[in-house]
Structure 1
Amino acid sequence: MKKILAIVSMLLLTFMLHAQKSFWLFNGKNLNGWTVHGTEKWYVEKGELVCESGPDKDYGYLSTDKKYKNFELTLKFKQEANGNSGVFFRSSIEGVKISGWQVEVAPLNNNTGGIYESYGRGWMVKPKPEDEKWLKEGKWNTMKIRVLNDQVTTWLNGHQMIDLADSKIGAANGFIALQIHDGGGIKVRWKDIILKEL
């Protein structure tokens, strides 16, 4: 009975995604549609996408093969070990040098949901200290990122974290990329990565 319910739920979700012009960015099986940058580890385990520090303990990225400008991205993440990571949007990559904007994914009280500009202006906006409580350490969290023209809004577990308008962001276009921070000892799991183009 549980198996039947799971199949019905998956069919309903697939139908809803099709109706909303949404699609899965990660297929739960392999890294098709993505490109690995750097020597850090990216692999699929039990239908989940895992990023883990490698021997170089350097930055690593997993970028989409396609560029996306205006979209709503939802995903789930669970931090293991250090958990310092992030989601880049409208980005470009050369080796392991990335230009663009990152929605931070980090341990508690380290600005998860805030926006950081890589190789540019640095922190654009951080969440309010009282909003840090919405992060569930060691458990699955749901992040939603909406990028429309020059406006970026993020939500963590249903709670709005930041809302930012910026003309430089508005003029950009590029890839979506998941990050693993340098320093070693980092492991983050991702699943249910769904994108809706706007």
Structure 2
Amino acid sequence: MQRFIKLCTALAFSSAFTLSGNSALAQKSDGFIDLMNGGSLSGWNVIGNANWIISKDMIESNKPSGYLVSTQSYRNLVIRAEFWVESTSNSGIFIRCQNPQKLSQQSCYEINIWDTRPEQAYATGAIVDVAKVDPVPLAGGRWNTMEIIANGPHFKVTLNGVVTVADGQDSKYSEGPIGIQSAAGIVKFRKLEIKPL
């Protein structure tokens, strides 16, 4: 009986974790996986020159330019993020990246976080070159929540409870790593969770 209890305990413990790269990341009861990993960059590759500062509760950069890119590849997903940027910061969340060494809007889907982008239609809350925003929601100077849903060729983005992209459609990229960007100003993430669909 004791052997059976130990086996059940081990199975319950192992089912609460999922493998991302070489690291076990905790999976919550709602199916989301916390990518911030408690003060470690395990599960991420650092690309570029940004000075990512990692603490237990936050990932921050105040020096451009660079990315954190997941070692895991994802297809259909939901991302939940909480972030803080200055009004002039340039950041974004990239998904389905085709080249994990060189992230750009030409090789990934970029969900933008850039209030002052010259082409405002693809500013904060938009998916660059896929789905525009109007009016542009401003994220600078406060904490924001963002939810991204990518399911096949369909995309939905919600910023602070407001849908900014209701049904963006594109089928260029079907799978790839995700990334977060630090291109200008201060960028902070205090939540970054993902649920594969």
The answer to whether the superposition gives a TM-score over 0.5 is: yes
Structure-2 separation of matches of 1:128 and 1:93 = 30
Q: Which runs of 5+ in 2 are unaligned?
A: 1-15, 17-26
Does 2:145 correspond to 1:139? no
User: If each structure's helix is expressed as a fraction of its own residues, which one has the higher value?
Assistant: 1
Alpha-carbon distance between aligned partners in 2 of 1:108 and 1:61, rounded to the nearest angstrom: 20
In structure 2, distance between residues paired with 1:187 and 1:33: 23
Deviation per CA, 1:5-25, whole angstroms, max 9, x where unpaired? xxxxxxxxx9xx633221101
- Counterpart residue number, 1:180: 182
In the TM superposition, what are the counterparts of 1:28-67 in structure 2 within 5 Å? 28-45=38-55, 47-54=57-64, 59-67=65-73
For these two proteins, the number of residue pairs brought into alignment is 165
Choose the corresponding residue for 1:71, options 68, 77, 92: 77
Q: 2:105 matched to 1:103?
A: no
The 1:136–1:180 alpha-carbon spacing in structure 2 relative to 1, beyond 3 Å, is closer
TM-score normalised per structure 1: 0.75
Bigger Rg, structure 1 or 2 = 2
Two-structure CA RMSD over aligned residues (Å): 2.1
1:92 match: 98
How far is 1:46 from its partner? Answer: 5.7
Query: Per-residue CA shift, 1:95-137, capped at 9, x if unaligned?
Result: 4454211000012674211112xxxxxx2221112xx24x342
The runs of 5 or more residues in structure 1 that have no matched partner are: 1-13, 117-122
| Counterpart pick for 1:152 among 125, 136, 155 | 155
* Conserved 8 A contact 2:113-2:139: no
Amino acid at match of 2:164: M
Matches of 1:125 and 1:49, distance apart in 2: 27
Output the CA distance in 2 between the equivalents of 1:167 and 1:50: 32
1: distance between equivalents of 2:87 and 2:30? 36
- The residue identity in structure 1 corresponding to 2:155 is V
Structure 1's 28 and 138: CA in aligned 2 closer, same or farther, altered over 3 A? Answer: farther
1:114 paired residue among 126, 148, 152: 126
- Sequence identity (%): 29
